[in-house]
């Protein structure tokens, strides 16, 4: 309905922008530390860290250092971390058996973190690409990604992660039917409190390149992921996918990538009123960092502005590599 307001000069919008105190009084959106989830890359070794060249400031870390990072996150008030493994290429196979090994890298890291910092929420990635010699999120046969066979493998992977102590599972594979299959298996095996944050609207995006470098999947990938990840041109399909995943038992949903898809975040939140998250992906992070390092942008300002945009678009939280920097700033 029309908004009735007095004409100028009775209405001057600049009155409420005149100083910091008044601006804070009328601010519609806020950013706080509890909005942050920090993605961490874990690798084998002890006391080891390797920089990810395409993601300045981001490192792969051995389990002991990931535990220290999780402890730091907890001390900063960051509620959750999300683990992504850098898997030894010798363990990658076409059937991805290492994905549901109870003692694989990701599961050992989860156990170590929960032992050291039981209060922090550990989220894990449920997808086969770190373990797949073909680099895909599903099992490949004759050049085709097999949906139902992949779902069966993902269910085993989900149960292994829940058994290791994961609090939230993040199915990022985009296979049809995987949320319902995982939820049924979790309930049957006594993991009723293990939550699912579904990558419900994950697009076949060009913004994932640095992430694939970080987990060692770039060289292994054969072809592309367009037969199972979403077409960037579609928005109604995203709503259908979110509705399906919620109906199958997802507790939370995610849009990925983030900044180029804020319209999708807004649509999802307005339509379903469900807990809605976005992933500020590696390519988004790399762009902002590169511009800041070249002096083209104020790095701290654009970092905070970009995250505020997620909140304004309706997100309840954001997976972001900026998490510890932002938490320190917000702590004053």
Residues annotated as catalytic are 202, 256
Name residues whose C-beta falls within 8 Å of residue 166's C-beta, 6 or more positions apart in sequence: 110, 122, 123, 124, 194
Cβ-contact 112, 67 below 8 angstroms: yes
What DSSP string describes 50-64?
EE-TTSTT-EEEEHH
Nearest to 38 by CA among 13, 10, 57, 11: 57
- How far is the C-alpha of 36 from the C-alpha of 322, rounded, in Å? 9
Cα angle 18, 24, 27; round to 5: 105
Name residues whose C-beta falls within 8 Å of residue 300's C-beta, 6 or more positions apart in sequence: 325, 329
Task: Name the 3-class secondary structure at 80.
Answer: strand
| β-strand partners of 198 | 253
CB-side neighbour CA atoms (13 Å) of 170: 23
Tokens (6 digits) for 189:
């095996």
Give per-residue burial for 228-253: e unless 16+ CB within 10 Å, then b.
Answer: bbbeeeeeeebbebbbbbbebbbbbb
User: How many helices and strands (H and E) does the chain possess?
Assistant: 11, 12
Would you give the DSSP letter of residue 132?
B
The H or E element spanning position 286 is helix 282-293
Cβ-contact 62, 42 below 8 angstroms: yes
């Amino acid at each position: 309905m029309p908004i009735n307001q007095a004409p100028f000069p009775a209405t001057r919008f600049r009155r409420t922008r005149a100083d910091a105190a008044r601006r804070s009084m009328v601010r519609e959106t806020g950013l706080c530390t509890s909005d942050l989830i920090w993605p961490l890359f874990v690798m084998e070794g002890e006391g080891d860290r390797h920089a990810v060249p395409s993601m300045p400031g981001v490192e792969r870390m051995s389990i002991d250092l990931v535990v220290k990072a999780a402890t730091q996150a907890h001390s900063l008030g960051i509620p959750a971390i999300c683990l992504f493994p850098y898997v030894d290429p010798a363990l990658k196979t076409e059937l991805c058996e290492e994905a549901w090994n109870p003692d694989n890298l990701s599961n050992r890291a989860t156990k170590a973190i929960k032992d050291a910092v039981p209060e922090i929420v550990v989220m894990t990635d449920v997808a086969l690409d770190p373990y797949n010699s073909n680099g895909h999120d599903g099992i490949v046969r004759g050049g085709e990604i097999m949906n139902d066979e992949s779902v069966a493998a993902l269910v085993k992977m989900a149960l292994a992660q829940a058994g290791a102590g994961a609090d939230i599972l993040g199915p990022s594979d985009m296979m049809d039917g995987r949320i319902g299959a995982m939820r049924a298996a979790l309930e049957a095996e006594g993991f009723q409190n293990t939550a699912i944050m579904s990558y419900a609207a994950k697009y076949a995006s060009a913004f994932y390149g640095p992430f694939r470098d970080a987990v060692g999947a770039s060289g292994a990938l054969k072809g592309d992921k367009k037969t199972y990840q979403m077409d960037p041109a579609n928005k109604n399909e995203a709503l259908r996918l979110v509705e399906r995943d919620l109906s199958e038992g997802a507790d939370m949903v995610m849009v990925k990538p983030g900044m180029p898809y804020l319209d999708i975040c807004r649509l999802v939140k307005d339509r379903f009123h469900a807990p809605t998250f976005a992933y500020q992906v590696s390519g988004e992070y790399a762009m902002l960092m590169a511009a800041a390092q070249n002096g083209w942008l104020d790095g701290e300002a654009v970092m905070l502005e970009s995250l505020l945009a997620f909140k304004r678009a309706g997100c309840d939280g954001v997976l972001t590599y900026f998490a510890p920097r932002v938490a320190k700033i917000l702590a004053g």
